[in-house]
Amino acid sequence: MDPDQINTTEQLLPLVYAELRRLAAHKMASENPGQTLQPTALVHEAWLKLGGEQSRHWQNRNHFFAAAAEAMRRILTDNARRKLRVRHGGGQQRVDLDDCTTAADSEAGHILAVSEALEKFTQLDPQRAELVKLRYFVGLTFAEAAEVLGIAEPTAKRYWAFARAWLYEEIRSAR
């Protein structure tokens, strides 16, 4: 099947499921002990957020991955919010974006702080915000994220440096 002619979730999911599962497994491997969200569950929840059984149309594989990144970000953010509720020992902690490169490397408070700052950043620079979602929440490499966004890898690295600096300042000033 020609990837350029794939436009429904039903057609695309079997082709990208293994890759999504691999990315989710990589992200979840460095989660804190006692993590209840498993890689398969993360992929399945993301798929359900993307439309599940409904026939949703996709422009191409990259469009699907961008939507999957957003879905995974929302799932991880919701999970982090749940963990931070008072009954789960909620509390705020300092976030240093230099020390964490993916959401899986972060604690719930870090994920939530980054997600909240990312909401503001999306309004200012949607493409760089999308890069953050792909790198931080999905765990794509620079090369993979650049391919999804249709930009060169060096450009992705420059976008990442800018986005990290902006998010760091936004999180720091919010505290």
User: What are 117-168's pLDDT values in tens digits?
Assistant: 999 999 999 999 999 999 988 888 999 999 999 999 999 999 999 999 999 8
The residue ranking higher by pLDDT, 9 or 66, is: 66
pLDDT at residue 7 in the model: 55
pLDDT at residue 14 in the model: 75
The residue ranking higher by pLDDT, 93 or 134, is: 134
pLDDT more than 70, % of the chain: 71
Number of domains the chain is built from: 1
The residue ranking higher by pLDDT, 84 or 128, is: 128
**Interior CA angle at 116 toward 115 and 120, to 5°?**
110
Three-state DSSP class for residue 41? helix
Average pLDDT taken over every residue of the chain: 77
The boundaries of the domain holding residue 13 are 3-174
